[in-house]
Amino acid sequence: MTLATRGTGRAPDVIVAEVNLRFIWDLVTGIRVGNTGKAYVVDRMGVLIAHPDLWRALQRSDLSGHADVRAALDGVGPPSGGLVKEDLSGQRVLSTYATVPSLGWLVFVELPLTEAYAPIYASIGRSTFLLVILLACAVLVSLFLSRRMTVPIQMLTQGAKRIGSGDLGQRLAINTGDELEALGDQFNRMAAHLRESYATLERKVVERTSELEKARDHALAEHDAAERARSAAVAANETKSRFLAVVSHELRTPLNGVMGMLQLLNDGGLGETQRRHLATAAASGETLIALVDAVLEYARLEASTETLETRDFRLDQLIEAAADLMRPQAVAKGLTFDLACDAAVNTAVHGDPVRLNRILLNLVGNAIKFTPSGGIGLSAAAERHDDQVLLRISVRDTGIGIAPDLHERIFEDFVQADDSIARRFGGTGLGLAIARRLTRLMRGELTVESAPGAGSTFTLQVPLSLAASGLAQGPLPPPSRQLHVLLVDDDPVNCEVGEAILNRLGHRAMIARNGTSAIELARDQVFDVILMDLHMPDMDGVEAASKIGKLGLARMPRIIAVTADVSTRARERLAGAGIAKVVSKPILIHALREAIEDDAQIEPATAQLAADELIDRRFLDDQRELLGPAQIDKLHHLLGETSAKLIGDITKAAANGDHTQLARSAHQLGSAASALGLVRLFERSRDVELAAAAMTPGECLCAARELAALREASMHALDDLLQPAEQRSRS
C-alpha cells in the first residue's frame, strides 16, 4: 500500500507499506453470526476488502454501486444502524454496519431473515398450537355443559307435547341434581294430577251422558209439540183471516147499498141544509164502515200489513162531518160541543181520509165517554208549507183526567188509566193504541196533556199533501169515452147500486150474478172493463178473472176487483191473476171513476188518434202504386185476419205468463203491420217484443190490451183510407 506524505523538499514523500489482508480475512471469517450469517469489510471507496468467501475478496469487487453500501458511504443510512435489505446475492437479510474511524472502512454484518426470525416464528407456532388446544377444550366443555342443560329441557318439551296430545301417562326421568330435576318432578306430579282429573271427568261424562240423552229426548218431544202448536197456530191464524174476510164482506154488503144510495142522492140539486144532512148521513155510514174495519185494524197493525189508501178529500168536510156525527152523543149526555176551525182548514188535501176520520172519531168518542159533565172542544188548524199541509187537531174535554205517569202507558195495548175505568166506562183499551199506530203510519204524532180532575187535551199532528186540483162539489162531468162495463156480483143490492153509479158516470153497464155467467158474457161480447166481486158462491172472482184471461179474446177487458178484503195478501193473490187494481166496498163514486178512467187512459188516447198518426200515408201510396189496388185489397184482408189471430195469441200468452210467446207474437204482429205502413202498431209491437222478458203479469195483460186497441184503431183507419180506392177500382 502506498501513502503520500508531506515532504521536506519540493518533491512529495512517498511511504510504501505492505498490508497483510489474511489477518483481516481470518478476522472476518472468525466472526460467527448465527448459523448462516456473515461479516465483510469495504474500504472508503466501496471496494470489498474482506469477505468469508475468499474468491470475492481477491476479486476486490467494487460494491459502491450497491444501494446499501452507497447509502452507508454517503452517510444517508443510520450510523451503526440496522435494517432489512438484500445482500450481495439478493437474499433478504437483517443487516447492520459499523465504521472504522481511523481507516474509513465499513464493516457489514448480515443475518438471513429466516434465521433471524426463526425463534419468533417458532414462538408464534407454539402459541397458535396452544390456543387451538385451549379452544378445542373450551368447545368440548361448552358442548358438555350445553348438553347437560338442554337434554332435560328437551325432555320437558317432549313431555309437554305428549301430554298435550293426550298421553297423560308420560313421566320424565331427570337426574341432574339441580333446579331442572326439581322442575321435572313437578312436571310428573302435574301429569299425574291431570290423569286423575281426566279419569274423574270421564266418569262424570259417562254419568251425565244418560241425563243428556234424556234431556235431548225431552227437548225433541217439546220441539215436536211446539212445532205442532205452531202449525196449529198458523192454521188458526189463516182460518181467522178467512173468517174476518168473509165477515167483513157480509157486513159491508148492506153498507154498500146504504152508501151507494146516499151518493146517488147527491146530484147537485140539494139545498145547503139538505146537503149537510146528506153529508152527515154519509159520514155516519163511513163511521159504521170504520167500526167494521176495526175488527181487522188491530190484527193488520200487529202484523205490520196495514197500508194507507190515499186520495183527495176536503179537510173541512171531514172535520165537520165528524163533529156533526159526534155532537148528538155529547148533547144527549148533557155536554156542550164546540167546533173551531181556522180558515186554512178549508182546503183540499191528499191523504187517507178513512184512517184520519177513524183517529178523530176515536179521540172525540173517548172525550165524550170519559167526561161526566162540562163540555168537549174540537179545534183544527193547518199550516201550509209549499205543497205540504201540517194539520193540527186538538180534542179538549173537562173529564176525569189522566195522571202524568200514565200519559204514555195509555197508548199501549189494553191499557186504561186504572181498573175502575173499565168497569165504569167500558172499553177494551185498544182505541188509543190503534190511534197512535195509525198516526205513526201517516208519519204524524199524537200526544196528551192532562192531570187528574183537570180534563185532557189530545193533540194530533199529521202532514198532508195539497190536492192536485180542487174537488168537485157539483154534478160529475161526463166521461171522455163511454165504456162498456160488466159488473159481476152475486148480491142484488150491490148490482143495483153499481149499475146506478155506472150509469151516473155515463157508462153502459151489464150485470152478471156469478163467475160462470161472467165468463160466458166475456166470450160472447166485448167489454172495456169488468168489475169483479171476489166472494161468490159458485166461483170466486180470482178464478173467474183467471179463466177470462185465458179465453184468448181479441180485445181483453180490464178486470178491476171490487171487494171488502183489501189486505196485502189479497192484493198479492189478485196480482197473480192479472188484476192490478182494487176498489174497496162500499163503492165510492170518485174512487170507482178514478179506477176506471185511470185504466182507460191508454185506449181512449189510441182510439182518438188521427189516421195520419197511425199510418204512413206516403208509404201506403207507394205500395199502392207498386202492387196495384187488387193486391193491396188482398193484403188488406189478409192483414185483418192475421193481426186478429196474432192479437188472440198475444192475449193468451199474456194471460198464461208466456213471455217467449208474447215476444214472438209481438214480433210477427209488427212485421205484418209494417207491410201496409201501420207505423204506430209496428213501433208498439217492437217495444213489447223487446220488453216482454222483464214484464210483470199485470204489465203483460196491459200491453196485450193496448196492442188490441191499437190494432183495432189502425185497421179502422186503414179501412177509411182504402175504401175510396177500392170503390174506384170496382167501378
Convert 608-664 into a string of H (helix), E (strand) and C (coil): CCCHHHHCCHHHHHHHHHHHCHHHHHHHHHHHHHHHHHHHHHHHHHHHHCCHHHHHH
Write the CB contacts of 354 (distance below 8 Å, at least 6 apart in sequence): 286, 289, 290, 293, 309
Residue 57 pLDDT greater than 80, yes or no: no
Per-residue confidence (pLDDT) for residue 427, from 0 to 100: 47
CA distance 78 to 69: 12
Per-residue confidence (pLDDT) for residue 730, from 0 to 100: 40
Tell me if 602 sits within 8 A of 705, measured CB to CB: yes
Tell me if 606 sits within 8 A of 480, measured CB to CB: no
CA angle (213 as vertex; 209, 218 as ends), nearest 5: 145
Integer CA distances (angstroms), 557 to 50, 148, 532, 600, in order? 151, 102, 12, 10
Q: Which three cell numbers stand for residue 516?
A: 160462470
* Numbered ranges of CATH 1.20.120.160 in the chain: 606-730
Per-residue confidence (pLDDT) for residue 238, from 0 to 100: 66
Per-residue pLDDT tens over the stretch 177-190: 666 667 777 777 77
Q: Which of 210-219, 476-485, 507-516: highest mean pLDDT?
A: 507-516
Q: Which three cell numbers stand for residue 534?
A: 171476489
Q: What is the average pLDDT across 491-504?
A: 74
Per-residue confidence (pLDDT) for residue 728, from 0 to 100: 42
Per-residue confidence (pLDDT) for residue 614, from 0 to 100: 79
CA angle (655 as vertex; 650, 656 as ends), nearest 5: 100
Residue 56 pLDDT greater than 50, yes or no: yes
What are the φ and ψ backbone dihedral angles of 352, each rounded to 5 degrees?
-105, 95
Per-residue pLDDT tens over the stretch 13-34: 666 656 566 667 667 776 777 7
Per-residue pLDDT tens over the stretch 446-485: 998 988 888 899 999 999 998 875 554 445 556 667 888 9
Scanning the structure block, which residue is given the C-alpha cell 197473480?
A: 576
Per-residue confidence (pLDDT) for residue 478, from 0 to 100: 62
* Numbered ranges of CATH 3.30.565.10 in the chain: 293-466
Q: What is the average pLDDT across 398-420?
A: 71
pLDDT tier at 248 (50, 70, 90 boundaries)?
Answer: low
Tell me if 465 sits within 8 A of 389, measured CB to CB: yes
Residue 272 CA from chain centroid, whole number = 58
Per-residue confidence (pLDDT) for residue 273, from 0 to 100: 79
pLDDT tier at 423 (50, 70, 90 boundaries)?
Answer: very low
Per-residue confidence (pLDDT) for residue 511, from 0 to 100: 92
CA distance 535 to 546: 15
Write the CB contacts of 206 (distance below 8 Å, at least 6 apart in sequence): none
Using the CB atoms, write b or e for 9-41: b if 16+ within 10 Å: eeeeeeeeeeeebeebbeebbeeebeeebbbbb
Could you tell me which residue, 415 or 239, shows the higher pLDDT?
Answer: 239
Per-residue confidence (pLDDT) for residue 602, from 0 to 100: 37
Tell me if 508 sits within 8 A of 482, measured CB to CB: yes
Among the residue ranges 212-226, 280-294, 339-353, 382-396, the one predicted with the least confidence is: 280-294
CATH code, residues 293-466: 3.30.565.10
Tell me if 286 sits within 8 A of 309, measured CB to CB: no
Scanning the structure block, which residue is given the C-alpha cell 198475444?
A: 650
Per-residue pLDDT tens over the stretch 64-93: 777 777 777 777 665 444 577 777 777 888
What count of Cα atoms within 13 Å lies in the side-chain half-sphere of residue 186? Answer: 6
Domain covering 484-603: architecture: 3-Layer(aba) Sandwich (3.40)
Among the residue ranges 31-45, 472-486, 565-579, 642-656, the one predicted with the least confidence is: 565-579
CA distance 434 to 419: 20
Per-residue confidence (pLDDT) for residue 111, from 0 to 100: 83
* Numbered ranges of CATH 3.40.50.2300 in the chain: 484-603
Q: How many CB atoms lie within 10 A of CB 647?
A: 25
DSSP 8-state symbol, 52: S
Integer CA distances (angstroms), 268 to 236, 262, 274, in order? 49, 12, 11
Per-residue pLDDT tens over the stretch 296-335: 555 555 555 567 778 888 888 888 878 877 888 888 889 9
Q: Which of 404-408, 515-519, 611-615: highest mean pLDDT?
A: 515-519
Could you tell me which residue, 7 or 53, shows the higher pLDDT?
Answer: 53
Per-residue confidence (pLDDT) for residue 263, from 0 to 100: 63
Domain 15-116, CATH class in plain words: alpha beta
Share of residues in the chain with pLDDT > 70 (%): 72
Per-residue confidence (pLDDT) for residue 121, from 0 to 100: 84
Could you tell me which residue, 268 or 511, shows the higher pLDDT?
Answer: 511
Q: What is the average pLDDT across 708-727?
A: 78
Per-residue pLDDT tens over the stretch 108-142: 888 888 787 888 888 898 899 999 999 999 999 88
Write the CB contacts of 704 (distance below 8 Å, at least 6 apart in sequence): 556, 647, 650, 651, 653, 654, 655, 662
State whether the Cα torsion 158-160-164-167 is positive or negative: positive
Instruction: Say yes or no: domain 606-730 is CATH 1.20.120.160.
Output: yes
Average model confidence (pLDDT) across the chain: 76
Nearest partner of 476 among 558, 584, 594, judged by Cα: 594
Residue 282 pLDDT greater than 70, yes or no: yes
Bridge partners, residue 532, by sequence:
488, 561
pLDDT tier at 290 (50, 70, 90 boundaries)?
Answer: low
DSSP 8-state symbol, 268: S
CA distance 64 to 75: 13
Per-residue confidence (pLDDT) for residue 609, from 0 to 100: 40
Tell me if 649 sits within 8 A of 660, measured CB to CB: no
